[in-house]
Amino acid sequence: MELFIYLFFALFSVLNPIGTVPIFVGLTHDDTKKERSRISLWTAIDVFIILIIAFFVGKYVLEFFGITINALRITGGIIIASSGFSLLNGQFNKNKGINKRVEQEIQVRNDIALTPLAMPMLAGPGSMSLLITFYQEHHTPADMIASVGASISIYVILRGAHYLSKMLGTSGIVAISRIVGFLTIAIGVQYIISSVLSIIRGI
**Local confidence band at 42 (pLDDT 50, 70, 90 cut-offs):** very high
For position 128, what pLDDT does the model report?
79
In a domain, 49, yes or no: no
Mean pLDDT across the stretch 118-129? 78
pLDDT > 70 fraction of the chain, expressed in percent and rounded:
81
**Local confidence band at 43 (pLDDT 50, 70, 90 cut-offs):** very high
In this model, does residue 109 exceed pLDDT 80? no
Higher pLDDT, 138 or 128: 128
Higher pLDDT, 87 or 150: 150
Residue range of the domain that includes 63: 2-30+54-197
**Local confidence band at 100 (pLDDT 50, 70, 90 cut-offs):** low
In a domain, 164, yes or no: yes
| pTM score, whole prediction | 0.71
Domains in the chain, number: 1
Higher pLDDT, 162 or 3: 162
Higher pLDDT, 65 or 134: 65
Q: Cβ neighbours of residue 192 under 8 Å, at least 6 residues apart?
A: 73, 74, 77, 78, 81
Mean pLDDT across the stretch 155-163? 88
For position 94, what pLDDT does the model report?
42
Element of type H or E holding 51? helix 33-65
In a domain, 174, yes or no: yes
In a domain, 47, yes or no: no
Instruction: Map residue 99 onto helix, strand or coil.
Output: coil
C-alpha 117/C-alpha 39 separation (Å) is: 9
Highest-pLDDT range among 43-47, 114-118, 150-154, 172-176: 43-47
Determine which of 16-20, 24-28, 109-113, 192-196 has the lowest per-residue pLDDT on average: 109-113
Half-sphere exposure (CA, 13 Å, Cβ side) for 23?
A: 29
C-alpha 99/C-alpha 200 separation (Å) is: 41
C-alpha 97/C-alpha 119 separation (Å) is: 9
Mean pLDDT across the stretch 48-59? 84
In this model, does residue 17 exceed pLDDT 50? yes
Higher pLDDT, 60 or 110: 60
C-alpha 59/C-alpha 48 separation (Å) is: 18
Single-letter amino acid code for the residue at 82: S
